[in-house]
Structure 1
Amino acid sequence: MWGLWELAATPFKKCLLSWKLNIPENIPLLKVRIDSFKKYNYCGKFKRSDYFTMEDYMLRAMTKDGQIRIYAAVTTNTVAYAKKVHDLFPTPAVALGRTLTAAAMMSGTLKSEKSTITIQIKGDGPLGGILAVTDARSNVRGYVHNPYLDMPLNDKGKFDIAGAVGKGYLDVITDLGLKEPYIGRVKLVSGEIAEDITYYYAVSEQTPTVTSLGVLVDRNGDIVNSGGIFIQLMPGCSEEDISWLEKCVEKMPPITKMLAPDRTLENILDEVLPGKELVYLDTRPVRFKCTCSRERMERNLLSLGIKDLEEIAADNKETELVCHFCRSKYVFSPSEIREIFERAKQEKNTEGNEQVKE
């Protein structure tokens, strides 16, 4: 139960031409496979006791000749936790799961501990939008704007992620801790997420990429498994490597069909990329981890400004703030709100005095 999508010729060939590779016109473009399953597909192959038995992790690998780079991740527990935290309906769960998985694999490109990557999908569909963030340790978090979206299956009997997302833009924001983050933006080519990630890499980073993202949901709406694979051609790769990879992709099963309690990502990559010696560089655990705290929520209140804080303090009621990423609730008493209000006034007075001195 998978679909094939052919990467737009112009950006893909621009990538190849930029590396001065003479690709004949008759060589087919790399295709990207994305998993989009019926609600009830394959659920009979899994026993309840098999769920969540594999720890989530991300793997970085490369062919021995250095021509092809691979990122792979199993994210079953992470996506199941996100579904539980946000009380997601199946379609939003699949959409967020794919995006969190992509973020987890993108974390493999980060080197600094303080670096982050944010994937933001803004569409005009009923889902409203998706946000996922990862740090260099593959700690991910995210949310969708409409967690209770109940979408019918599409005409192929699959989750209608494209219909839920609609038309819009994909932003990838890379914050390396410098003055300004790097922001790459592309139009959504389908809204299915995997295809859009592939298009982003082709256009914004000039890196031809095969993207497989999958989230399998059973008849009860539970997450059976979730994972993904990025396969990227490096600059200067040969026509032989391109031809070999195309053949591998044509035979590659959906990622959710390959994930099983007794199989590792290494097993899966050895299967889908036969004939090449792979060098496994490192692995790291993937987990859903939020960075919210009471102190951060206090800073959010301070950022509201004097006028808004004064109005909140005048209500003399408890104020509850809810984290978008993990739904944690932070309650501030009337006295705490007044203290924050007084602190905001003091900070403003201090800033005013400093400006006068200047």
Structure 2
Amino acid sequence: MGDYIVRAMGGQGQIRAFAATTRDMVEKARQAHNTSPVATAALGRLMTAGAMMGCMMKGRQDILTLQIRGDGPLGGITVTADAMARVKGYVNEPSVLLHANQQGKLDVAGAVGHGYLRVIKDMGLKEPYVGEVDLQTGEIAEDLTYYFATSEQVPSSVGLGVLMSRDNTVKQAGGFILQLMPFAEERIVDELESNLRQVQSVTSLLEMGYSPEKILEKLLGDLGMETTDRIPTSFYCNCTKDRVSKALISVGKKDLQEMIDDGKEIEVNCQFCGRHYQFTVEELKQLKKQAM
């Protein structure tokens, strides 16, 4: 099976748990954006989190957006996901190169820098839910752990990882989110914290052949686990020429006329997947007729 998310309960219903394997998704994003290793790692971590958080949403039309804006050389990361765990995303500066950090690993924190994490949930209401926190480390998993605790008042533990091969393709990618229910007992909390301390990283478990189910079994240990769902996840962009046409119409008659006056075909690229859409001068004239 390809990329997927396992949703489960542990500790007699006192822990909500998610784990994902996302290698194919992150590799597809790397190919779409030609990202450097550190940019791939940063984007892959946030996309993995987006996939798990996306499937937490109830409505099929609900959309989650995760934005990181930092003063590091990456500039920012944007990821969107739907309730079916279909994810897309991009980094502002995909070609960033940095030396490894002191642990000899990709320096995601250095690439992100200081800034903020914003979570936007569009659930079809009049206004979307928006939560925002300052970045704590720039490592993304720790920042999301902090977000859950402060903005949603849900004690959580988030683990995310991307391991690159020597040829700069994605070797492993995945993550987990563990959340305590409001009625969780102290002994459950203590045992879970003890289990978490024994896990080095998500990618080390994936390298040892752990599936998302096995990752959760290891994290939950003697607390027990009941799997409730298994959800496929993938890199998916819903852009079409029709959607791009509507975006061009929205720029207005004046700007469209300037494009027409240039007398050349234009190309519009999708930020999320890198697809190219061409529009002839004649097509631009038709779009201008529909513009305000």
Interval of TM-score (by shorter of Structure 1 and Structure 2): over 0.9
1:268 deviation in Å? Answer: 2.1
Structure 2 residue aligned with 1:133, among 80, 91, 95? 80
8 A contact 2:27–2:170 mirrored in 1: yes
Aligned pairs for 1:332-351 within 5 A: 332-344=279-291, 348=292
| Alpha-carbon contact 1:323-1:329 (below 8 Å) kept | yes
SS at 1:280 equivalent: strand
Distance in 1, Cα, partners of 2:219 & 2:56: 22
What CA distance in whole angstroms lies between the structure 2 residues aligned with 1:135 and 1:155? 36
Pairing 1:249–2:191 present: no
- How far the C-alpha of 1:264 sits from its partner, in A, is 2.3
From 110, 127, 130, the equivalent of 1:180 is 127
- 1:254 CA displacement: 1.1
The answer to whether the 8 A contact 2:5-2:233 is kept is yes
Of the candidates 230, 234, 239, which is equivalent to residue 177 of structure 2? 230
Question: 1:100 is matched with which residue?
Answer: 47
Compared CA separation, residues 79 and 197, structure 1 to 2 (3 A): same
Distance 1:301 1:114 in 2: 24
**C-alpha distance in 2, partners of 1:204/1:111?**
19
Give how far 1:185 is off: 0.3
8 Å CA contact 1:71–1:108 kept in 2: the answer is no
Contact 1:64 1:279 in 2 (8 A): no
Q: What's the CA shift string for 1:217-275, capped at 9, x where partnerless?
A: 12221211100010111102111111111111111231111115854211221122211
- Superposition pairs for residues 322-337 of structure 1, below 5 Å? 322-337=269-284
The alignment's C-alpha RMSD in Å is 1.2
Asked if the contact 2:6/2:230 (under 8 Å) is kept, the reply is yes
CA distance in 2: counterparts of 1:262 and 1:128, whole angstroms: 34
What is the alpha-carbon distance in structure 2 between the residues aligned to residue 158 and residue 297 of structure 1?
39
Q: Secondary structure at the match of 1:274?
A: helix
Q: 1:129 & 1:265 partners in 2: Cα distance? A: 28
Of 205-214 and 253-262, the range deviating more from structure 2? 253-262
Q: Where does residue 144 of structure 1 map in the other structure?
A: 91
Amino acid at match of 1:156: Q
Q: Distance in 1 between matches of 2:207 and 2:108?
A: 24
Residue of structure 2 in register with 1:281 after alignment:
228
Alignment length (residue pairs): 292
Identity over aligned residues, as a percent?
43
- Structure 1 runs (4+) deviating above 6 angstroms are none
Which residue of structure 2 aligns with residue 163 of structure 1?
110
Match of 2:154 among 198, 204, 207: 207
1:177 CA displacement:
1.3
Change (3 A) 1:79 1:248: same
Amino acid of the structure 2 residue aligned with 1:194? A
- Distance (whole Å) between structure 1 residues aligned to residue 124 and residue 167 of structure 2: 42
Letter in 2 for 1:238: E
> SS in structure 1 opposite 2:120?
strand
Aligned to 2:254: 307
Deviation at 1:156, TM superposition (A): 2.7
With 263-272 and 156-165 compared, the bigger mean Cα shift is at 263-272
Q: 1:111 aligns with which of 51, 58, 75?
A: 58
2: CA distance, partners of 1:246 / 1:217 = 28
Structure 2 CA distance, aligned partners of 1:136 and 1:342? 36
Structure 2 distance, partners of 1:169, 1:262, is 34
Counterpart amino acid of 2:147?
Y
**Aligned with 2:27 (options 60, 71, 80):** 80
TM-score scaled by length of structure 2: 0.97
Aligned to 2:167: 220
Q: Which runs of 5+ in 1 are unaligned?
A: 1-53, 349-358
Report deviation, 1:160: 1.2
CA deviation digits over 1:269-318, x for unaligned, max 9? Answer: 11222112211010110100001011110011011012111111111110
Bigger Rg, structure 1 or 2: 1
Please give the alpha-carbon distance, in whole angstroms, between the structure 2 residues aligned to 1:109 and 1:94.
23
Q: How far is 1:108 from its partner?
A: 2.3
Unpaired stretches in structure 2, ≥5 consecutive residues: none
Contact map agreement 1:214 1:226 (CA 8 A) in 2:
yes
Q: Secondary structure of 1:273's partner?
A: helix
